[in-house]
Amino acid sequence: MKFTVQQIADVIGAKVEGNPDAIISKFSKIDAGEEQGLSFLANPKYTHHIYTTKATAVLVSNDFQPTQALACTLIRVENPYLAFAQLMTMYQAKNRPIGISKHAAIAENVQIGKDVYIGDFVSISEGVVLGDNVQVYPHTFIGVNVSIGNNSILHSGVKIYHNCVIGNNCTFHAGAIIGADGFGFAPQSDNQYTKIPQLGNVIIEDNVDIGAQTCIDRSTIGSTIIRKGVKLCNFIQVAHNCEIGENTVMAAMCGIAGSTKIGKNCIFGGQVGVNWHLNIGDNVQVGAQSAISNNLKDNSVVLGTPAFNASDCIKSYAIFKHLPSVVQRISDLEKKVK
């Protein structure tokens, strides 16, 4: 697909500086641009590449001021990174597959919306509802009475267990598992365990992204809930009866124990662990590899194991890393005193 620079600018409400008739046919990195490529400049540390890039056009901010001659055409927007993402999304939508594979196994009473794609060896159970423009890639399983909203995408190997509810515009990457049993076992007097049936489900609201191999467990009773706009990276575990507030984001390998409630607009670094039955407030920021063992108030910024105020943690670490030399000095002093 080919577009002129002006056509692209018109779509995103941008201003062109350079050749509006230049042809764009691909997306390019700014440091290794290609002819007919479109790139973007958002991070100042890459500014030097704009003077040497071979990309035909570059999205830049409205306040960008070049200090050298440019070979590329500029497309000025308020937020180049966001505009680039929007253009890629539009391109992806125009090139998405449509149709139902003859190798898919689909129960008779499944409701399928318009312009749906269902790939090879997909298994769709009784009572499933698929909205318009849903894409279900090969080797995906959808359990009984699952509902999936419009424009949602299930990549290869996704498993969605029975009775789960998925909103609109959600994306599930390869191997994600939604609705597996929560880790519920009652200890017995003989040190064995009795399994507690997990009778609830998982509810995922609109505009949620779930990374590859991430698992969200169904609740014991009621629902495990992922609110709208949540973004979860790869290899994340969300246990039963948890709730994650809207627009919260988590980097890879976080683990959230059962019945924990996390507020909205929170940011979790990679490998964060959260204990069970906790309440995490809104706008909380948690540094990578932190372990949360207590409730956190709104707007907390924490770090460490166990996690506490990030500023205090950094100061403490500055002292902690010198402890061996401090201990040696104390030992030397004790010997002198004796």
- Please give the pLDDT value at position 210: 98
- Please give the pLDDT value at position 5: 95
- Please give the pLDDT value at position 82: 94
pTM of the entire structure? Answer: 0.85
- Please give the pLDDT value at position 327: 86
Which tokens hold the place of 287?
């540094």
Residues of the chain with pLDDT below 50 are none
Rounded (10°) CA dihedral 292, 173, 224, 148: 160
Cβ-count burial 121-143 (b if 16+ within 10 Å, e if not): ebebbebbbbbebbbbbebbbbb
Give how far Cα 28 sits from Cα of 25, 37, 40, 42, 255, Å: 10, 5, 8, 14, 35
- Please give the pLDDT value at position 320: 79
- Please give the pLDDT value at position 115: 96
Domains of the chain, residue spans: 3-94, 99-314
Rounded distance between C-alpha atoms, residue 46 and residue 64, angstroms: 13
Instruction: Check if CATH label 3.30.230.10 holds for domain 99-314.
Output: no
CATH number, domain 3-94: 3.40.1390.10
Residue 42, classified by CB atoms within 10 Å of its CB into exposed (0-12), middle (13-18) or buried (19+), is middle
Q: How far is CA 294 from the centre of its chain?
A: 25
- Please give the pLDDT value at position 318: 81
H/E run at residue 23: strand 23-24
Same fold, 3-94 and 99-314: no
Q: What is the amino acid identity at position 189?
A: S
3-class state of residue 190 by DSSP: coil
Rounded (10°) CA dihedral 146, 152, 155, 156: 40
Query: Of residues 155, 162, 240, 277, which has the active-site annotation?
Result: 240
H/E run at residue 14: none
- Please give the pLDDT value at position 246: 98
Q: Determine contact, residues 233/270, Cβ cutoff 8 Å.
A: yes
Q: Distance from first CA to last CA of the chain, Å, rounded?
A: 84
**Catalytic residue at 277?**
no
